[in-house]
Amino acid sequence: MNIVESVTSSWKIIARSKTRSFLTMLGIVIGVMAVIIVLSVGAGAQSLILNQVKSLGSNLIGVLPGNSEKDGPPASALGIVVTTLTYEDGQDILKNGCDCIESLAMYATGNDIISYGNESITTNYTGTTASYIDVEETEVESGHFFDAEEEKTSARVAVLGYEVKENLFGTEDALGKRIRIDKTNFNVIGVMKERGVSGFQNQDNQLFIPISTAQNLLLGIDHINYIRAKVNTPENAAYAVESMEQILRDRHNIGVDEVDDFSVRALSEGLDAISSITDALKFFLVAISALALVVGGFGIMNIMLATVQERTQEIGLRKAVGAKSRDITFQFLIESVVITFVGGSIGIILGVLISVAVAVVAQNMGYSWDLVISPFSIILACGVSIGIGLIFGIVPANKASKLSAMEALRYE
């Protein structure tokens, strides 16, 4: 019997019992669908993370308080308060760092109730330096950002994010108005241009005040949360990192063999670390999803064994008219492969449709989510489903081929 005849015959046998055939291939459908979805959604989630980090700028260097391994985050990134970084550290880097450092901004963040008249919201505020506009490469839509003099004198001025302005003032002009952060009054001097989500933070749902004002009047601290420096080209990032590390070691009196109490990272290093972590997580989830394929394979083997029992007389009749054991083996293997291939095809179609739906929903919600359905994942799913058909079809096929023609014909 050739392959075409075997496939045609197998399809007719499968079609005779549609419900049982569907239940037989259900495990394969779910397994293949899960693999496609995990690979696609995992790649989309990875693109979201990387796009958010890239949105900060390809030539940025971040300084965080607390030590960390090269392939892990510092303690401050995990929510642990570390107070080893100061405003003077940033000033020294800007003054004595390499010439490739164009500008530098420092940050001290908090969260509080912001009110104007009868309107009030709870949102984040960022104490920062006058250089924020340059480092973050953003713009003020109306009014102006605070200057270096207001930064030094702890001026009570505020620049509103786009959403904060809309929530507090609506269509009313916010410039010159007085808002209250906790119990302290601030004059609104500017409104930021709408930016959306950048670096996993809604840039429009916050307001900006001089960093000295945040430290002295609102937070009561003398440390800062982090520093961002902008270098002239991404190629100079490694040199800038080395320069900044040396300055901070000198300032913090850290010896040659002592552990740093800060972490300096270029954006490119963060991207590499994030890619490695998300790749490992993605393929771990694929491996977990693939277990459904194994379960589906056992289901196929059990059903095929029951089918051999039901078709004992048919097998005996075929042997009586000249069919050899290898023909019987081949026929049952083809049936198993056809079932798994059809199940795999259905799983691929459903997986692709669900992946597209997830990407469309994420994009409509404003996320930078890429739709990634690699041909490799589809080819892999097809190959795995066929392989499972062959592997788990061997036992039933072997059992069928060993039946004696006389015993099979007498079977009732």
Per residue in 61-106, pLDDT tens? 888 888 766 655 555 555 567 788 999 999 999 888 888 888 999 9
Could you give the number of structural domains in the chain? 2
Question: Mean pLDDT, to the nearest integer, of 267-285?
Answer: 67
Q: Is residue 364 part of a domain?
A: yes
Q: Clarify whether residues 298 and 255 are in a common domain.
A: no
Cα distance between residue 179 and residue 181, in whole Å: 7
Which pTM was predicted? Answer: 0.59
- Asked whether residue 92 is assigned to any structural domain, the reply reads yes
Residues 24 and 140 grouped into a single domain: no
In which band, very low, low, confident or very high, does the pLDDT at 155 lie, cut at 50, 70 and 90?
very high
Determine the distance from the C-alpha atom of residue 154 to the mean position of all C-alpha atoms in its chain, rounded to a whole number.
39
Residue 56: band (very low, low, confident or very high) from pLDDT cuts 50, 70, 90: low
Q: How far is CA 94 from CA 10, 131, 189, in A?
A: 75, 11, 27
166, 221: one domain: yes
> Is the domain of 223 the same as that of 361?
no
Which pLDDT tens digit goes with each residue over 174-189? 999 999 998 899 999 9
Q: Among residues of the chain, what percentage have pLDDT more than 90?
A: 23
Q: What is the pLDDT of residue 117?
A: 85
Distance CA 346, CA 338 (A): 12
* Domain extent at residue 318: 3-53+278-410
Instruction: Tell me, yes or no, whether 160 lies in a domain.
Output: yes
Sequence-separated (6 or more) residues with CB below 8 Å from residue 399: 305, 308
Q: For residue 60, is it within any domain?
A: no
pLDDT > 70: percent of the chain: 71
Average pLDDT of the segment spanning 388-402: 67
In a domain? residue 351: yes
* Predicted local distance difference test score (pLDDT) of residue 411: 46
